[in-house]
Amino acid sequence: MKLRLPLLAATLLFAPLHAQATPVSAVLYPSGALVVEEGLFRPENGRVTVKIPAGADEGSLTFSLDKGSVTGTTSRLREDLPAPEVDAALRRLRALDTETALAQARRESLAHMRRFWSAQPAPSADDTRREKEAELLTARLESLAVKDAELALVLHNLSDERKALEKRLEALGRQNESVRECELELADAGREPVRVRWSYYLNDAGWQPRYRVQAVTDAGQVLITMDAVMRQGGGSDWKGVDVTLASSEDFRRVTPPPLPDWILGDSLASSVPRAMNVLAARAPAMRADSVAAKAAAPRDSGLRWSLGKTDIPAGAQTARPVDERRFAATFFRLIRPTEDERAWFVASLEEETMPLLPLGQASFLVDGAETARGAFRLTPGERDVSFGVDPLIGVKKNDLPTQGAENEAGIKTRQWRWKTDIVNGHDKAVTARVEAPAPILRDARMRAKAKSKPAADFQEERALYEWRLEVPALKTASVVHEVTVTSPIDASSASR
């Protein structure tokens, strides 16, 4: 017994050690994942071999050791060595072929036996003996029929399992029918086990947010819940992996964004009073301002969610709730009659500081009833959330005849007049916000004058007219709006 222990220790010391390496952590981005794996190896001739998915970005590979260092790497694609989950599926397919062939052979044997017993000579003339022989033959044929039905069910189940495995292999991806082996050359490597940690970027992975946006009108709240729909096609199941979700891929950006042009003023409109039409002074600069705003917007790279230990099977989608936000809100119907004769149900969020939620698909609900599906995101600069069209609000816009005006010498006049009727089909009053664009004056000599009933608020920063109306239950409210533009005869008038 004393001799056996040293022999066992020596056997363990010099036997090859190949621990099954598994992912320990992953950062999931919208399209891709930064994966870290770890394994314990015993060097052989100063080398150890690690495996990575065939679809991994080989150029992103990094290695670290608990002792020693890597002096070189050699990589090759092993087409004869599938990824673990692919290998398991292929093995089961081969087993299914054997089980199917055996079940089919048994059915053929049963068919021969049924034909044999069905072709037996006529029973004896003795009535009693004839009845017994008939009963025995019937029982034997019924038994064979039952066995045949059981084998038919077995074949049906084997066929269903084969179809499921074929779909599983398709989901796992053809690239995972092989793996990439990376052989590491180690400095001063002995025979002692070494722990190797490596990371790589997996292109066939990622996550997308999926939202449920609910308006609870009685409580004056909007509830936003976000699920993360995750996937990974690395060819092996992730079990207990420390997963972090990141909302952008800024780590892959190589060059900084360009500085936009900063354009201020316009020679044609420099003398136009600001109160007359803010767009006349800002129109050329607005395009540059929008570019600057985009470049200066908060980057998503700092927005992360840590999910902790998570299981994500290969070749499948996994959804998990990750965030929930509740906001105080006021609700109104947004109407833009010059563009669209529909009323949109909108919530205005009342929080001081708005969170940043990345772009994803959402279902929108008002008081429990789904109203729309579409894209959704939340940024610090946005407070209005639209829930789609309100079918119980009717909007009708009618152009009105223009009213004559005396023109001064050398001056021409253009006028637009319209009326919008808002019909409330709800059994309670609703708030409507009506918006119409202000005219864009591109000539410093042009003048615009607006008149409305009820009176409009001119939103200078947004260059539009706005009305806020309370529309009583089952009643109609109206807006009448008139815009008059005067300009010299030789100037071109703005038009819509």
* CATH classification code of 84-175: 1.10.287
Secondary structure class of 125 (helix, strand, coil): coil
Residue 234 CB contacts under 8 Å (≥ 6 apart), including other chains: 23, 35, 53, 55, 56, 83, 176, 202, 204, 205, 314
List C-alpha distances in Å: 476 to 335, 468, 470: 14, 14, 10
Strands 32-41 and 22-29: antiparallel
**Residue 116 confidence (pLDDT):** 87
For residues 347 and 431, what is the distance between their CA atoms, to the nearest angstrom? 11
Backbone dihedral region for residue 173 (phi beyond 0: left; psi -120 to 50: alpha; all else: beta): left
Q: What is the pTM of this model?
A: 0.74
**Residue 233 confidence (pLDDT):** 92
Nearest 5°: the CA angle 109, 114, 118 is 150
Please say whether the beta carbons of 224 and 213 come within 8 A.
yes
For residues 423 and 355, what is the distance between their CA atoms, to the nearest angstrom? 36
* Beta strand ranges found along 169-316 (DSSP E): 179-186, 194-202, 205-216, 221-232, 238-246, 304-312
For residues 153 and 244, what is the distance between their CA atoms, to the nearest angstrom? 45
**Residue 105 confidence (pLDDT):** 94
Residue 392 CB contacts under 8 Å (≥ 6 apart), including other chains: 424, 425, 426
Q: Which tokens is 479 given?
A: 């807006």
For residues 431 and 396, what is the distance between their CA atoms, to the nearest angstrom? 17
Instruction: Count how many Cα atoms sit within 13 Å of the Cα of residue 113 in the half-sphere of its side chain.
Output: 16
2.60.40, 3.30.390, 3.40.50, 1.10.230: CATH of 16-81+178-203: 2.60.40
Please say whether the beta carbons of 208 and 229 come within 8 A.
yes
Residue with tokens 């989901």: 171
Domain positions in the chain:
16-81+178-203, 84-175, 206-248+299-389
Task: Please tell me whether the peptide bond between 284 and the residue prior to it is cis, using omega within 30 degrees of 0.
Answer: no
For residues 393 and 386, what is the distance between their CA atoms, to the nearest angstrom? 15
For residues 405 and 485, what is the distance between their CA atoms, to the nearest angstrom? 11
**Residue 310 confidence (pLDDT):** 95
Identify any residues that bridge with 77 across adjacent strands, giving them in sequence order: 180
Please say whether the beta carbons of 133 and 122 come within 8 A.
no
For residues 390 and 401, what is the distance between their CA atoms, to the nearest angstrom? 30
Query: How confident is the prediction along the chain (496 residues), in pLDDT tens digits per residue?
Result: 444 444 434 444 444 444 456 799 999 999 899 999 999 999 988 899 999 999 899 889 999 998 888 999 999 999 889 999 999 999 999 999 999 999 999 999 999 988 888 887 666 667 777 788 888 888 888 999 999 999 999 999 999 999 999 999 998 988 899 999 999 999 877 778 999 999 999 999 999 999 999 999 999 999 999 999 999 999 999 999 999 999 875 556 677 778 776 755 444 433 333 334 433 333 333 333 333 323 333 333 458 899 999 999 998 899 999 999 999 999 999 999 988 899 999 999 998 888 889 999 999 999 999 999 999 999 888 889 999 999 999 999 999 998 765 566 678 888 999 999 999 999 999 999 999 998 888 778 888 899 999 999 998 888 899 999 999 999 999 999 999 988 887 665 444 4
